[in-house]
A and B are shown apart, each in its own frame.
Chain A
Amino acid sequence: MSLIHEIDYGTPASRSETMVTLTIDGREVTVPEGTSIMRAAMDAGIEVPKLCASDMMDAFGSCRLCLVEIKGRNGMPASCTTPVAAGIEVSTQTPRLKDVRRGVMELYISDHPLDCLTCAANGDCELQDMAGAVGLRDVRYGYEGDNHVKARNNGEINAKWLPKDESNPYFTYDPAKCIVCSRCVRACEEVQGTFALTIGGRGFDSRVSAGMAEDFMASECVSCGACVQACPTATLTEKSVIEIGQPEHSVVTTCAYCGVGCSFKAEMRGEELVRMVPWKDGQANRGHSCVKGRFAYGYSTHKDRILNPMVREKISDPWREVTWEEAYAHVAAEFRRIQYQYGRESVGGITSSRCTNEETYLVQKLVRAGFGNNNVDTCARVCHSPTGYGLGQAFGTSAGTQNFDSVEFTDVAVIIGANPTDGHPVFGSRLKKRLREGAKLIVIDPRRTDIVRSPHVEAAYHLPLKPGTNVAILTSIAHVIVTEGLADEAFIRERCDWSEYEDWASFVAEPYHSPEATEAYTGVPADLVRGAARLFATGGNGAIYYGLGVTEHSQGSTTVMAIANLAMVTGNIGRPGVGVNPLRGQNNVQGSCDMGSFPHELPGYRHVSDDATRETFEKLWGVEISNEPGLRIPNMLDAAVDGTFKGIYIQGEDILQSDPDTKHVAAGLAAMECVVVHDLFLNETANYAHVFLPGSTFLEKDGTFTNAERRINRVRKVMTPKNGYADWEVTQKLAQAMGMNWNYRHPSEIMDEIAATTPSFALVSYDYLEKMGSVQWPCNEKHPEGSPIMHVDGFVRGKGKFIRTEYVATDERTGPRFPLLLTTGRILSQYNVGAQTRRTDNVVWHAEDRLEIHPHDAEQRGIRDGDWIRLASRAGETTLRSLITDRVAPGVVYTTFHHPTTQANVITTDFSDWATNCPEYKVTAVQVMPSNGPSDWQQDYDEQARQSRRIAGKLEAAE
């Protein structure tokens, strides 16, 4: 094992298809037109010295180190800014170039501290490398004159010197070491799109500064790390590198936070993780990352991690540590007892969207083959189940149609109910890049999300609809497209069922769907809807991206169908730049759905009533599989309250915190006789558990995650599991204790079983992934290289299906007692229920959940910014602090749900999507009033949580 060194070509690749041939140092090179001479040289294996260039951003031409000579041309052009031309003869090394370069380096070094031996970048510093490359042997100028290096000059205070900025928890900025190459500034602009950094001053006085000469924490910086990666010196350095030292080997793996699925190099020293560096060959992220994947891995070694299995008779008892064998035996005995006593259908399992495909597959196999029923569900139930249903109906398969690269070809992007800069930051950055290049943006969201207006990005249309009226708006947009003759009839005739289209077209054309008619309840001015519809239908490649603001509604599935209708009616399916793109929340939501986590579906989205599919698995597993659908999470809880569901195995999910109507979840769990929680921490659900099985982190196991673009990425083990076993091993041992003959020696064998049984995975194997890097399913005989874009020559179901989408107002309505609408969301630095991110330094960005409220509503209630307020709905109440902002419209309030003490889901009701029971998180009628402290429920809850976390013989486990 060694450190993976990625080649930096100096400038981005050219997309041109015209090739140009030139000679560099006597070698003939052929490259696409528009390529820089620097890049062409690197292609030929010739490394031209450089400091200000990097292939992550456009050339800048400031350091003058990369000069070359071209035969017949005067002067010494910079190779990074000079494009190739046919037939030119370039020399990268001549006596004249050598002299100039040494002179340039001498100047740099004369204003740079010479403490290389103790510098954190020692061994990973481009300034050092370049000094070596140009043969710098002495420096004639000392620090007597002007410099940025010394705090004092001859006893006098040096006004040019600046102290280190250590405000960011993950990296430092040491201005004394800065060579003002502006790579950081350009990375922040071009790669991340935040524009937090500037170069102030001129010439020798120029300095990098965050924001308006603030420290990094106070600036707009979102801590993505792009500048740190771009910095050629130790000026911007990860604190972990300062603390530990340079890594010695690295392993490519996949982020375990969100559905973007960024590839990272885990850079290691022994089994210690030094840093995570985004991998340029990662096809989802192309070398970029966000603060979570890049820096927030500290939870994996957090002291709260539970490392020994534990058991207790009653949930009011303290936990008792036991051996793994005892724990397995206990669970096996309990589940068998319960099934004997209450029937085969009285137990079930929940798979995790945070675990690997292989682990998920095993949990559903345990339920189907071991428990003998289909009572398996996953947390995707509470986020993207309507995507599965809606897209399945319309297109025939329940997955996003594009890869992320597709956004580079988009002309009009529509974002509905998603907040990509916070929820899917790396995709957000890629989208913003495309918008800066001129693509148009339409945002449909009750809240003015960051992307509506941010530096150098402004949405052409923001439709600030009332929460719960998605279907009305989308049907209205369809109305405009159809009635104004903007439908792409050629596409529809060829690709869709024409008579279904006609039925649908006459439905949406009804006058009551017109923007003028829907304005009354959506709150969106009709001309905005018309404008947005025309832009989408006529603006070129149109792509729709959507998130939980679409799915988590009582009409979630209907909204997904409405989105599919819009893509089809405008012909925006089946090529780069278009499509329907669900932005998945957790890292492996896609994978957990693919792997048969739903109670009605076997892996590969095949209904359990399908005899042929069941037979495939029955033969392999040697058992009979039930042909009846099992219980979904909410149904399991209902059945538990009714006394017919008694035992559950929950892997890597915290349903008490993530599912709606906390009190109902608590009642359901409390009614069960054996709740087994398999997780890293004593999460909230574990308060109701009888058995706790310690889990492992993504750093501690092999496997695969499938991201939102259906990309199967490898997860690679870089350290030994602290708890002793990867999660798949625990599930296997549990299955063995229940008498099943499972003998997987490695997750690759599980993947082989998946490939053998699931047609869309037929060619997937670890060897193949090793060779390809990653593939997007379907990956089979028909699509051996995988499928970046789906439905290219026709829909999976044959003809695309237009479906009528009638708006139905949710039953969750405001009234005199609950006059405001609450909608919920997430923010960048925290992840879902926050169990991981809360155990990292990311808390500096989001120490608590706040309630956003419009100034008008706040004033009416006598609430000032930062006040404690009581938030009440029909379901319950909680308290949190207010944040007064006009991002939300009057009548709408908004909060996140990252912290268990807030218990935002005490507020949410149990209304849910008609088709999938996906909870309606996005609309709850509430009242808000001043308060002076935590609610009774919060206090009781805290006390109960504290009690239930006791471990016999140990001090209380701290939260």
Chain B
Amino acid sequence: MSHDTNTKLIYMANQIATFFKSQPQDEAAQGVATHINKYWEPRMRRQLFQHIDGGGEGLSPLVLEAASKIKRPQAA
């Protein structure tokens, strides 16, 4: 995976988190996870998890909080 795409994914995930951060607190993390589960193709989620597993640098805390609710795709 290129560095470029990785940066983009982090950016996109954070953008989603920014929206849900403003929603009622108890729904925020679930909102992020549902959104990513519904709209992110497995290779994007896989890449996201690679990044999270590697420490998740640059990801918004809400994305990290949502991670356990995001569907982890099978390894490629």
Contacts and interface: CB of A to CB of B under 8 A. Distances in A.
Interface of A: 343, 345, 374-375, 503, 554, 557-558, 599-600, 607, 609, 628-632, 635, 638-639, 641-642, 644, 803-806, 808, 910, 914-917
Interface string B1-40: 1101100100010011011011110000000000101111
A558 B19 contact: yes
B44 interface: yes
A632 B18 CA distance: 21
Given A609-B38, A629-B40, A638-B5, A806 B22 contact: yes
Instruction: Specify which of B15, B40, B76 lies most central, judged by the most chain A CB atoms within 10 Å of its CB.
Output: B15
A642 B15 CA distance: 22
B72 interface: no
CB-based closest 5 A-B pairs: A806-B22, A914-B15, A638-B5, A631-B41, A628-B42
Contacts of A374: 41
B4 A641 contact: yes
Contacts of B22: 804-806
Instruction: Specify which of B21, B39, B40 lies most central, judged by the most chain A CB atoms within 10 Å of its CB.
Output: B39
B59 to A, nearest CB: 15
B42 A642 contact: no
Contacts of B5: 638-639, 641-642
Contacts of B23: 803-804
8 contacts: A345-B41, A345-B43, A630-B41, A631-B43, A635-B44, A642-B2, A804-B24, A914-B16
Interface residues of B, number: 25
B61 interface: no
A632 B42 CA distance: 12
B4 A639 contact: no
B73 interface: yes
B19 A628 contact: no
B15 A629 contact: no
Nearest to B23: A804
B4 A914 contact: no
B16 A639 contact: no
A752 B40 CA distance: 32
B38 A607 contact: yes
B73 A554 contact: no
Nearest to B15: A914
Contact of A600 (B8, B21, B38, B43): B38
Contacts, number: 65
B30 to A, nearest CB: 14
Given A609-B38, A629-B38, A804-B23, A639 B18 contact: no
Contact of B12 (A343, A558, A914): A914
B41 A554 contact: no
A915 B35 contact: yes
Given A631-B44, A632-B41, 13 more contacts: A345-B42, A345-B43, A557-B19, A558-B19, A600-B38, A629-B40, A641-B5, A804-B24, A806-B19, A914-B18, A914-B19, A915-B39, A917-B12
Instruction: Specify which of B2, B23, B41 lies most central, judged by the most chain A CB atoms within 10 Å of its CB.
Output: B41
A375 B22 CA distance: 31
A390 B21 CA distance: 17
A807 to B, nearest CB: 9
B41 A599 contact: yes
Nearest to B2: A642
Contacts of B38: 600, 607, 609, 629
A845 B24 CA distance: 51
Contacts of B19: 557-558, 806, 808, 914-915
B47 to A, nearest CB: 9
Interface string B33-76: 00101111111100000000000000000000000000001001
Contacts of B2: 641-642
A607 B40 CA distance: 12
Nearest to B45: A628
Nearest to A808: B18
A503 B24 CA distance: 8
Contacts of A558: 19
B40 A554 contact: no
B70 to A, nearest CB: 13
Given A642-B1, A803-B23, A600 B39 contact: yes
A552 to B, nearest CB: 15
A917 B41 CA distance: 13
A635 B41 contact: yes
Nearest to A805: B22
Nearest to B35: A915
A638 B15 contact: no
Contacts of A910: 8
A129 B44 CA distance: 70
Contacts of B24: 503, 804
Contacts of A503: 24
B4 A629 contact: no
A556 to B, nearest CB: 11
B15 A628 contact: no
A609 B36 CA distance: 13
A372 to B, nearest CB: 14
A501 to B, nearest CB: 13
A369 B42 CA distance: 19
A275 B37 CA distance: 51
B43 A644 contact: yes
A139 to B, nearest CB: 75
Contacts of A804: 22-24
B41 A628 contact: yes
Nearest to A555: B19
